[in-house]
Chain A
Amino acid sequence: MTNEIIIAGFGGQGIISAGMIIAQAGMSEGRYVTFFPSYGAEMRGGTANCSVVVSDEEVASPVVDRPDTLMVMNEPSLIRFEPRVKENGILFFNQTLIKSRPKRKDIKIYPVEANLIAEELGSGRIANMVMLGAFAAVTKTVDLDSLKAAQRVIFKKADEKMHRLNDQALERGYKLING
């Protein structure tokens, strides 16, 4: 099984860390992973995106052209990346911040109230975790528990309170699908 993933949104929405958490979780499960962030000019005031590949076999190209899975956190990212999702691929979109709706009929689409749920839990900053929870539930690319452990590695400087909040956000996202 290979899942080629693109995550995209505004700079500051935790796009890069979300990608690294998937990579860390995949690695902890003994899978092959590779992660490539957008860097430099593209970040400034605009969109951030990253590619993650999680696979049972050695990852050839780290460049994701047509993702199996797309997670978009804001409107411009939906417009930019939706056309690139593979046929029968999966699209998660942040329903709280994205007002338009995906147009593709040949992919599976999951709306996620990422920011709404994150705000309910107390911080809009953890919307990315809600998204990751839903991602784990639908794609089963990595386990929920692996994601929980991974966020503690990636955010190793955060305090216990933040780690718990992240766990809750992951769970809420997961339960959106496996309610």
Chain B
Amino acid sequence: MTPALTRRGRVAGLVGLVAAASGIAAGGRALDAIVIPVAIALAAGYVQVSRVDVPAVRHVTPADGFVGETREVRLEFGPDVTGDAAPSRSFLADVFVRVDEGLDGPTAPIRASVGSEPVSYRVTYRERGERTLGPIELTATDVFGLFERELVVDETDAVTVYPPRDPIPARFRRALHAADAVDVSRQREEFDRLREYTRGDAVRDVHWATTAKRDEIVVKQFSAETARNRVTIAGGTEVGGGEELSGFGPEDRSPSAAAADELARATVSLALALLDDGVPVDVRLPAGRVSASPGDRGRREVLELAARTGPGAVAGDEADVTIVAGADGARFRTGDRSVSFDDLRREAEGERQADGDAGANRTDGSRDRRGVASP
């Protein structure tokens, strides 16, 4: 786009013209001191703005995160390869980043000096899924703001926003795997094999008999993560029947989308709770399936699947837990029992309060964050 006068620029131009006209019509007075500076400011402004090129922009994408989290995003301008040319290329601009509707981006343009240093802004994750940052609109201007020029940088980047996670009561978790399998004690029940000692192994696990026969120390390996304890979770949404709830919520979203959100939320809550317990999970959702073992990678696989998933029927039938979500909430079905996600959430809240202090709360929260933010 060509440089256009801003309102301020139009006023300045008008003042200059009036002054010049007045000078010609009714004598010079001190009008030179108005006409010349206005002309200089306008000329300089035009030159400054017209010399601007669309800069190369790099998004320093923030980490993926849960709904409700706020992250700082950085934009880096200008190619770093031509180092010496960069400083003169810098120009003033209002930077406005268009973001996906599932994100809360900056509401006002960021006044920045493009090219001289990076610009950062905050986004708040509102809805799960693959969310795009960009394109970037730049309104280049001169030092007096007399001219402006719109530039669009078609640079987009994506972040994955995970569904929110709720606590799942311990009672329910334990019911899904052997009650004794939870916590450390469980691991010592099942002897797996003997192996070489590595640093950090407990002295009590040393298998002295074998160690005595060999040159090296041999320890007992217990089977903590056995296939026997793997929990399969299958999820889906109730097809149809959601139309009567179209008034639900402030967003104008279809009931099936709301059901998918509920499904994702319930799945993530349960799967992460199990992974935190050290229990591997198989998750089947309309968007696909993952087999996740405890650890950051497993957690992320589950979160990404849940972030992506849309509405759909439950796939397959063999599952320890089947989650069926509607627009108003999700239900867990284990065998012949069925419990609503809302009830579980309430129960977990109660459990947490029973635990008492806010410290438990905080630990829980920090665990969540660490698990997601570190990969």
**Do they bind each other?**
no
Which residues of B pack against A, CB within 8 Å?
none
